[in-house]
Amino acid sequence: MDTAVGGASMYQLSPEIKEFRDVARRIVRDELLPLEQEYLKHPEQAYGLQPMTNLRAVFPKQVADRLEKIARDTGLWYVMVPEQHGGMGLSMLAQVVIIEEFMYTAVPFPWVNVPNILYECTGAQAERFLKPVIEGQKIHCFAQTEPNAGSDPGGMMKTSATRDAEQWVINGTKMWISGAAEADLILVQAVTDAEKRQKGGITMFVVERGTPGLKVEQPGIPTWLSQKAAQYFVHFDDCRVGPENVLGEVGKGFNLGQKWLTIHDRLLRGPYSLGKMQRALDMSIEWAKNRVTFGRPIADRQAIQWKLVDMYVDIMSLRSLTYEMAARADSGEDVRSEAAMVKMVAAEWGTHCLDHAIQIHGAMGESSELPLTQFYRYLRHYQIGGGTNEIQRTLIARKLLRG
């Protein structure tokens, strides 16, 4: 990393990306925003891992079907899917721009969330695991964290897999696993060589729902993200799977997890936050112009104007950073530290921005009829989920000090 200049600026939005952005924007305005009031009345349903799960939980079948049809007809269902797997083959930059649009509303748009590591599937695995996920017939979850292994999964992971004559036998407990109860496929990391651990001794397995020895503990762990608990303990008790359930190479599962976290999870926190932040700013400007106190709109007050300015500056800065890093990832640059940076500031600036928006709205800011508190909780969660901000800082520092 050239810390002095941060490399040459690379990103430019092509006409094609702008066209997709406009299509997404129209869908949000015409299809999703009109449904938002209804969606927000059902917080207990939210937080399935796939947007489609949440839509089907809240809306009548014909509404969810209609949105799915729009997603498939426009191709946006496949926004994350490479061309060779029947998707749109969009660059990371295009994905980031499109996903930002959809994050403008609490109503999920049904694009399919495919973890990039599933593209490691080979031969029969692709038919069995990857294709059904791409088509929305199967849902996955990612199981790394354990009761005593959060920030340091490589060093502290206890879940193990040992090989007998024909199969792998997995034992251990994972915790905080989002969407485990609805998942058909659990992507689980287990220690296969206790000496090597994260340096060649952790393997990723795809474990199918119903496999003997696999148990998702119910009810899940309640959190403030959703009234319906959506994180779970997952127990493996002599859970046997075949070599065909190994994702990637034996011993390389920790790197695979990092590959997912770095690009798929960390970089995408940029657009996840940006859409919500932009909505919060638009709502706050509108509210501030119309809310009158002491004979004048609150927008006339410097105390309010400065909050709006802070929000705007954070949005512009995060957008530039996210688009830039997406473009660099597209050009093949190693952006692991930069993705950590995106995740960190998306979470911190996002939380700050929503805090301002709630304050500007006064009591209405706390009303669950508006999406602001829901947005706030998600953005605050980003400071912990997928690696805490302290860990992101540690990763960035490591790179800074290495040279």
Strand 202-208, strand 296-297: pairing = unpaired
Stretch that binds ligand FAD, among 17-25, 173-181, 198-206, 287-295 (CB under 6 A): 173-181
Other CB atoms within a 10 A radius of the CB of residue 337 amount to: 19
Among 231, 284, 337, 374, binds ligand FAD (CB under 6 A): 231
Taking the complex as a whole, the smallest distance from the CB of residue 319 to ligand FAD amounts, in Å, to 25
Residue 154 in the binding site for ligand FAD (CB under 6 A)? no
Nearest to 207 by CA among 174, 183, 172: 183
Looking only at residues 129 through 148 of this chain, which bind ligand FAD when binding is defined by CB under 6 A? Answer: 141-145
* Residue 297 structure tokens: 């709109």
**Cα separations in angstroms, 337 against 116, 353, 392:** 18, 24, 8
What's the length of the chain? Answer: 403
Window of 195-203, 302-310, 329-337, 384-392 that interacts with ligand FAD by CB under 6 A: 384-392
Closest distance between ligand FAD and the C-beta of residue 380, in Å?
A: 10
Q: How far is the CB of 339 from ligand FAD (least distance, A)?
A: 15
Helix H or strand E segment including 281? helix 269-290
Chosen residue from 14, 122, 151, 317 binding ligand FAD by CB under 6 A = 151
Q: Give the shortest CB-145-to-ligand FAD separation in angstroms.
A: 3
Q: Nearest distance from residue 391's CB to ligand FAD, in Å? A: 6
Number of neighbours of residue 385 by Cβ within 10 angstroms: 19
Torsion, Cα of 369, 315, 346, 291 (10° steps): -30
Instruction: For residue 85, give the nearest of 111, 52, 53, 118 by alpha carbon.
Output: 118
Count of residues near ligand FAD by CB under 6 A:
22
| Residue nearest to ligand FAD according to CB distances in the complex | 150
- Distance of alpha carbon 181 from alpha carbon 116, whole angstroms: 21
Binding map of ligand FAD across residues 174-193, x = CB under 6 A, - = no contact: --xxx---------------
CB proximity list for 81: less than 8 A, separation 6 or greater: 87, 88, 89, 112, 114, 134
Closer Cβ to ligand FAD, 231 or 278, answer by number: 231
**Residue 112 binds ligand FAD, judged by CB under 6 A:** no
Residue ranges in contact with ligand FAD by CB under 6 A: 141-145, 150-151, 176-178, 223, 225, 231, 381, 384-388, 390-391, 394
